[in-house]
Amino acid sequence: MAAVDDLKFREFDDAANLLAANPDATTISIDEPPEVHKNQHGRAGERGREEDDELLGTDDSDKTELLAGQKKSAPFWTFEYYQTFFEVDTYQVLDRIKGAVFPVPGRNFVRLYIRSNPDLYGPFWICATLVFAIAVSGNLSNFFIHLGRPTYHYVPEFRKVSIAATTIYAYAWLVPLAVWGFLMWRNSKVMNIVSYSFLEIVCVYGYSLFIYIPTAILWIIPQKVVRWVLMMFSLCLSGSVLVMTFWPAVRDDNRRVALATVGTIVLLHALLSVGCLAYFFDAPELDFPAPVTPVHNGTTLITK
Amino acid sequence: FAGLADVSIAEDIPVEGEITVPVGAHSPDEDYSTLDEPVRETIMRDLKAVGKKFVHVLYPKKSSALLRDWDLWGPLVLCVSLALMLQGGAADSKEDGGPQFAEVFVIIWFGAVVITLNSKLLGGTISFFQSLCVLGYCVLPLVVAMLVCRLVLLAGAGTASFLVRLLVVAAMFGWSTLASTAFLADSQPPNRKALVVYPIFLFYFVISWMILTFTPQ
């Protein structure tokens, strides 16, 4: 009987063979689990991505990946919109600072630490601390340099605080704006794989300025060599954070444009540190007590 | 409802009445009118509230009196007196000098506003003016330090006087920071407390720096 035959178990052919026999049959495909996809991309993708994959296994990575889709849905005139830029805990801020002070070659600061959760807390308060660190250290260092001179009267030089504030905040916000605009413009011409949002660039610049806070405090030491060594050291550290961030974003471009971009970023950074050192910290002259040379008509002449 | 079937309302008779429910009688202590009391009593009541808050700042036990009824008179008086006492130290040239009156004012008020915004953006539950009130009142120890510094400077400006001033300013700075942290830290989420306390530390540090570097002409 046909019914009994129908109930017998039947081996099914391979899906590919079945489809070859009957090409127009409807098919259902079930997606593979996402871990397999990530591994495939990791092997085929760039160096940076591979290293990110092995680091993506940490705890808060899952949270931030999920939350990334829910952020910034409030309109920009509400308070909640700005609250989304302060979704950081203490340990996250400290982690980001650590990542900016100890850059590891090959690890992109934005991909590793920011992970589409840029915050405004770090850039704002690091700049504020840097402003006051430079102003206070400059004042202290001038005090110690000119201490022995009889004509020196200590002044707090409070004007310099506003100058420092203008300079540092302008650098930390206008230069990222320019860099972002430039990257957007190049992105429209050349298809880049890596592109950063404006706030991520502000974050990188803000956190990279952190190394200058201890540097400014150490600049109190009135030795020229020490100051320049410190400046070179901190410039290397923070410059390398910036270079490692922006090199993946421009390296697919024309070679000259890429090098010029990265070079300009480093140059502006160097200009900032040299300018701060020159303006806020007086040059430590070799200041010994003034020698007194007696002149023959009996008056003493004090020479500097 | 059979009996209501033939009820009809003529259209020319207006329907009117009162919808409002009369509110119950006011409780006795809410209803006193401050319009007829003598002016002295009005002023003394506010002065006593300000004075009580000063005492609370000097002995910060975990009471919430500062937080509940905020007022900005105390901060205004403290800010103006601090700015006035920081005058008279400016050198002749405009460039190197102590902070001007307006600069002190702006630093204190703008700094307090920025710190309040920071703590609210980080998820704090304190209201804007309550936070301003606490930050302003906790400047009191530093104003006391300024007073002591000016008195010490009357006696001389050498190294000994500098050391005394340094100790006094450092102690008052610690007191201010601890007092304001005691009032403000409870309203923050626990994993962000340090993020909120650090700007307060920076704020009082800047004010202490202005006090310590004050040198009379």
Q: Which range, of B3-12, B53-62, B188-197, averages the lowest pLDDT?
A: B3-12
Instruction: Return the pLDDT at A35.
Output: 42
Average pLDDT over residues A75-80: 82
Contact A206, A124 (CB under 8 A): yes
Report how many domains make up chain A: 1
Flag whether A235 is in a domain: yes
Interatomic CA distance for residues A41 and B173, integer angstroms = 55
Interface of A with B in 168-197 (CB under 8 A): none
Mutant choice from B107, B113, B122 vs A, greatest count of A C-beta within 10 A: B122
Flag whether A34 is in a domain: no
Average pLDDT over residues B84-105: 71
Q: Which range, of A145-149, A159-163, A179-183, B113-117, averages the lowest pLDDT?
A: A145-149
Res A2 pLDDT > 80: no
Dihedral in degrees, nearest 10, Cα atoms B149, A160, A177, A265: -120
Find the CB nearest A158 among B99, B193, B195: B99
* Tokens matching residue A269: 């950074």
- Residue A49's CB: how many other CB atoms inside 10 A? 19
Flag whether A150 is in a domain: yes
Q: How far is A205 from chain B (nearest CA, A)?
A: 19
Interatomic CA distance for residues A77 and B104, integer angstroms = 31
Number of alpha carbons in the 13 Å side-chain half-sphere of residue A7: 3
Determine contact: A152 vs chain B, CB below 8 A.
no
Residues of B in contact with A151 (CB under 8 A): none
Comparing C-alpha atoms, which of B130, B109, B158, B150 is closest to residue B65? B130
- CA B85 from chain centre, in angstroms, equals 20
Mutant choice from A94, A158, A160 vs B, greatest count of B C-beta within 10 A: A158
Instruction: Return the pLDDT at B6.
Output: 67
Mutant choice from B87, B94, B195 vs A, greatest count of A C-beta within 10 A: B195
Instruction: Return the pLDDT at B42.
Output: 85
Instruction: Return the pLDDT at A83.
Output: 85
Confidence of residue A50 (pLDDT cuts 50, 70, 90): very low
Q: How many CB pairs under 8 A join A and B?
A: 71
Flag whether A72 is in a domain: no
Confidence of residue A133 (pLDDT cuts 50, 70, 90): very high
Interatomic CA distance for residues B11 and B128, integer angstroms = 57
Instruction: Return the pLDDT at B86.
Output: 87
Residues of B in contact with A85 (CB under 8 A): 121
Q: Which range, of A3-17, A191-205, B42-56, averages the lowest pLDDT?
A: A3-17
Determine contact: B191 vs chain A, CB below 8 A.
yes
Domain ranges, residue A170: 79-282
Residue type, B85: M
Inter-chain touch A158–B98, beta carbons under 8 Å: yes
Interatomic CA distance for residues A165 and A170, integer angstroms = 8
The burial of A165, by beta-carbon neighbours within 10 Å (0-12 exposed, 13-18 middle, 19 or more buried), is given as middle
Tell me the backbone φ, ψ of residue A121, rounded to 5 degrees: -65, -50
Determine contact: B89 vs chain A, CB below 8 A.
yes
